[in-house]
Amino acid sequence: MNYMHLIFLDYKKYRKYGGNLFTIVFLTQSFWAVFQYRIAHFVYKLPIPIVKHLLQIFCLFWQKIIEITTGISIPASAKIGHSFYIGHFGGIILNAKTTIGNNCNLSQGVTIGVSGLGDKRGVPVIGNNVYIGANAVIIGKIIIENDVLIAASSLVNSNVSKNSVMLGVPAIKISDKSSEGYI
């Protein structure tokens, strides 16, 4: 999928939640962070080394400005599917090796990071149609399958099966109602 199409699908998702072209592009800080990530990821994947390295310098400064302005850190090396939506300003930290599927929503204060020891050390892989609530922490070499809802202020450090609703510290499965209605 080309990068302009990915940006359009992200924008379309923002439109779904309200707003118009002006408010989304000029006033929605989370969209700025997603847009900057898409451009930086394109540069990160460039096959021409000299051009890639020169543009990466620009992207690193741009990313730092976005981080300071929005409180959202999305490294260019992260892998994020289409229709990505961040609901609110700030406190979002994604590890450089983060993988997030298509049509996912993140709320404010979310951390997706590295944790664990030995063979269990690593970064989560998050499936499609996953909703992650405010201040949730997802850590370790785990897999979050499709259609999962992670409740606010939960700590997920183990694998999560499809359609699960997770809650608590550490998070436990409380139902099979999925993320339907939240995405």
Instruction: Compute mean pLDDT per 10 residues along the chain, 183 residues long, and list them.
Output: 92 93 94 97 94 95 96 98 94 97 98 92 98 98 98 98 98 96 90
Got the DSSP string for 114-125? Answer: -B-SGGG-B--E
Q: What is the pLDDT of residue 31?
A: 97
Q: What is the pLDDT of residue 108?
A: 97
Q: What is the pLDDT of residue 18?
A: 87
Beta strands in the chain (DSSP E): 72-73, 79-80, 85-86, 92-94, 99-100, 105-106, 111-113, 125-126, 131-132, 137-139, 143-144, 149-150, 155-156, 165-168, 171-175
Q: What is the pLDDT of residue 89?
A: 86
Cβ–Cβ under 8 Å, residues 39 and 3: yes
Q: What is the pLDDT of residue 3?
A: 87
List pLDDT tens digits, range 22-63: 999 999 999 999 999 999 999 999 999 999 999 999 999 999
Q: Provide the token pair at 22.
A: 């002006």
**Cis check: omega of the bond before 49, within 30 degrees of 0:** no
HSE, side-chain direction, 13 A CA sphere, residue 130: 27
Q: What is the pLDDT of residue 19?
A: 86
Q: Rounded CA gap, 116 and 70, in Å?
A: 29
Cβ–Cβ under 8 Å, residues 123 and 144: no
* C-alpha radius of gyration, the chain, whole number: 16
User: Is the pTM above the cut of 0.85?
Assistant: yes
Count the Cβ atoms, other than its own, within 10 Å of residue 20: 9
Q: Where are the domains of the chain?
A: 1-73, 91-183
Query: 46 — phi, psi (to 5°)?
Result: -60, 140
**CATH topology for the 91-183 domain:** UDP N-Acetylglucosamine Acyltransferase; domain 1 (2.160.10)
